Amino acid sequence: MSAINNTNVDRENTTTLDYDGAAYDTYRPTYSSRLYTKIYAYHTSHSSFFSTALDVATGTGYVARELSKTFQQVHATDISQEMLSSAFSSPNIQYSLSTAEDLSQFQDSTFDLITVGEALHWFDSVKFFKEAWRVLKQNGTLAVFGYSSHHVVEGYLAATNEFKKFNVEIFGDYWDPRKFSVDKLYRDIVIPEKLFKNITWERNEYDEKDGKTSNYESYLNKEWSVERFKNYMKTWSSYNNYMSRCQKENQKIEDPVDKLFEKLKEDEGWKDDQILKISWFFVLGLAEKN
């Protein structure tokens, strides 16, 4: 992996997320190629430059990896050393340890594109948007996107509702409150018009009548085995918070995710290796620098 610069992280005033980098890299879903096609088409509508890109809160580098196929040079930042230690390695990706609100390691007007995947809700968005504007080139593009913890299992309306009920009733108190912003598909976040123009939002939501995502196909959908889906849910911060609290209180409990899937396997007749078609509620925001 490229060298990691340990800059711009105030450990006393920064909330870090306790994720298992290896499990995150193995079980988290990756975005559809349609997402990048959409972002690049928007960018091409006002710029012809694909030289430099920045992926903020890169995690293990999923988005940076895709950007590196199109851009000559990609920089990627995160506040988690563990995540960066598990990140994808490429000669044209440079990783650095940094908050989203302080990008002072980069000069003004450096990047053609800035991306933020599944992380904007963790930021001080006012400070971040100012920094993003500063380091973007004139007519550069900002792309923010994310997916909700709610999802649709195609052809299984009862199971879809069971997942939603479980998420609210069992894990509801164990999510960081900021996570609800992406569950609302960033309707509470405003990209400032003083800094950006041609702002567009696209949201894939749940149509309860049809049991599918609305507003076109979601930018995040997978065909996963039942076992893979279960392991993905165990990467949730709410799951880790739930299990950690129970361990601290010396409670002997049955793993709630295991219990849920045992019930669904019985109700739906699922086997561990059965393939499910899963779509997530998704939001994509695009903006051009003023």
How high is the pLDDT of residue 165? 95
pLDDT of residue 8: 45
Domains of the chain: 4-289 (3.40.50.150)
Tokens linked to 135: 């380091």
pLDDT, position 13:
36
Q: Assess contact for 141 and 287: CB atoms under 8 A.
A: yes
pLDDT above 90: residue 195 = yes
Residue 139 clears pLDDT 80, i.e. is over it: yes
Q: Please spell the DSSP secondary structure of the chain, one letter per residue.
A: ---EEE-S--TTT-------HHHHHHHSPPPPHHHHHHHHHHHHTT----SEEEEES-TTTHHHHHHTTTSSEEEEEES-HHHHHTPPP-TTEEEEE--SS--TTS-TT-EEEEEEES-GGGS-HHHHHHHHHHHEEEEEEEEEEEEEEEEEETT-HHHHHHHHHHHHHTTGGGS-TTHHHHHTTTTT----TTTEEEEEEEEE-EETTTTEESSSS-S-EEEEEHHHHHHHHTTSHHHHHHHHHHHHTT-----HHHHHHHHHHHHH---TT-EEEEEEEEEEEEEEE-
The answer on pLDDT for 9 being more than 60 is: no
Cα separation, 152 vs 229, in Å, equals 12
What is the reported pLDDT for 29? 85
Q: Residues 66-83: pLDDT tens digits?
A: 999 999 999 999 999 999
Sign of CA dihedral 233, 234, 240, 241: positive
Tokens of 15: 């909330």
Which positions ≥6 away from 11 have C-beta within 8 Å? none
Amino acid 212: pLDDT:
62
Percent of the chain with pLDDT over 90: 78
C-beta atoms surrounding 249 within 10 Å: 8
Q: Give pLDDT tens digits for 145-191.
A: 999 988 899 999 999 999 999 999 999 999 999 999 999 999 999 99
Mean pLDDT of the chain: 89
pLDDT tens for each residue of 16-48: 344 455 555 577 788 999 999 999 999 999 999
User: Residue 7: pLDDT above 60?
Assistant: no
Reported as a single tens digit per residue, the pLDDT across 202-252 is: 999 877 666 666 666 889 999 999 999 999 999 998 999 999 988 887 777
Mean pLDDT of 268-287: 96
The pLDDT value recorded for residue 209 is 67
- Give the C-alpha separation, 1 to 3, whole Å: 6
Mean of pLDDT values over 255-264: 97
Alpha-carbon gap, residue 116 to 31, rounded angstroms = 12
pLDDT of residue 164: 92
